[in-house]
Structure 1
């Protein structure tokens, strides 16, 4: 029988780190005055960390028989945690911010600490899935840049399989790498009809060859060869024998020349004589579950290009004035009413579409800054000349993004000046704290303010240097254009 005294071993090695007698490595991290020097034993680090083993072999001893390393791309906090893990095999993540844990994961991978890389991925997926979804773009991009992030990759692909619009309808779809696209196409549970999968594959292939004519009827044989070569790794993963008669005619037929002639013949043979044997591989149809998938915690189905389901949960929590935000089972449904890129950016367009509609959320993606601003209007939209409306329940906000650590909520405080309508002047505002004017995309008349009288909302939602101190400022750094906007009707779910 073998007895393992790991706890005592861990404690003794941790004590050695705290009292580093006979150390022979000095690692300096950070910049003065916040820099820190770690006194380390090379044999411990070399046995536990391949990265440091290579570093030590490349670094000579100084006159004091100490190897001195300077590391600039790791934070003091991160290295402190990693060194303690290396010595004692112990790590505590509960009090760390999710963004720091994700950065720690990247650092652990750079140091080739495979055990820690797997643990951090598992911790994030099992305990902090809402944060991963909120930061989906960054997480997904990073997971495919780093091959060891298999657990995170699988998490991201599960989301994409259930909510394909997160990728296929995103502005980043055309820049998707081939290996990412193939990993999605391989999914049996991808929740897309096969004809739609085909359309996206063709769209992606065309984006890689922008000189191809728009109309395939104008293509030469060389054009088809070009697209075929681009898609040669993707085409085997399309489920061709799941297409309807109409989709074969409408979707595949115009691009038949990018397929192997025998495959195209087999596709048509199966449509006309289903029982006839063919030589082409028949992939199983995808397991489409859209009709039975839960929709309570899903905003992706709205095809929003600005906000995520976590943003929607946060907004719903503010509507219900919850101190603890919803993390699942959103009690509200978000019905898309207006979208700038689809319906136009003129304020008058919003009035026409939203007239007499109450309980709406407007979401703005600010051009050039990455900010996501918005507000909740509990009142009916009103096509009047100019009028202030009383409300106690409206609020404005700035949502958490990659560039902004926390969301900002600002509730109405001067109820008499909560909402202002003015179709005639092409104006809509939440007091003077968030003002939308004219064409949101081109006129650069939108602005935020907390200084003009009356100050209607509790706190500004933009940084001080971007706030206006005047009424209707001329275009300057405090005014902004909108890259995209969306307006949702928010209502309680019945399910």
Structure 2
């Protein structure tokens, strides 16, 4: 007899045991019901799992059966989250595949929930890829979703930074205003009724979003009719700069054919950016670093984006500096990024660009093109080399380091730490020169 023919009968017997209270010797408390004390039973608390969801999973554990067609999408997502808490990893791909293949319409309309769920941990890889692909390839679906106004700021900024978005920049601006107003339902329905405090409220809401709009893609008419009414939400210097630009008689409005050509180019760039294999940086970081490599600034336009090929990850390949040097020495153009644990839940990222490659010869690499940088709380700092004779630090006992100690990765009592003291680069990229533990770091080959 084939073994798997026994499974249905075995599963049925186990389900019968599950339904028979005679065999109970463990209580598992789910939800937030009052405590129940029984000294004869083992007591396990799972307050984050709803009773009805746990019952579905329990029957799966005993019976090996889980028919998803009978559940609504929200329940399936709750089952996925509960499976993660119970470490039922075999369920992840089954549940994710079902959602992606059968429930895309619902997920597009409730994208913020799907996005937050998928990125709360690193277990739901298929859903993460689905979300990333939708942001890059079809962001218009998110803009047009019924709950667009309730999406998080993090997701919204990811959307408007996406160069592959297939709508005009003035539409992006209009969606941004719509989103900002929705975050403050107390604001008047008509801008003509806005008080000074109303503009201040909207300005505070949009302060991280406005710099991401590509105003140079607007026509003068679009700027005059759609943007100028909201001039009080702009930082003063940005508004003066924009006004000067749009009042320039020599300014050429962007033709529709140019927009289409740019749209096609951006679609190609967006497709490349989604492939960055990183646990630290996003495709937005890749775009910005690519501009810096070409000597451009944040607001500059570019049709160039480099491929970032992961060649080293400390959490995968080892935190000891010798592990880094074995893999990365004598490679070509590299960029290093480092995640720092300064305080609990810190989102600080440090990094540097090395155009001449790494070595272990205990000397300094000479280059005028290297730079270091930091990303923290939407504050980006770029610091280019000023002493090219000491640009790259090739200490064999340290990790990837720049300058004398502008970025210095070193082992201290068995742990990898980082310290930044300005010496050979123009700007200080951290608030202080104290050393901090390194959570992870990655090295990418650039081409």
Which TM-score bucket, shorter chain as reference? 0.3 to 0.5
Q: Which has the larger radius of gyration?
A: 1
Task: Name the TM-score, length of structure 2 as normaliser.
Answer: 0.40
Structure 1 length-normalised TM: 0.37
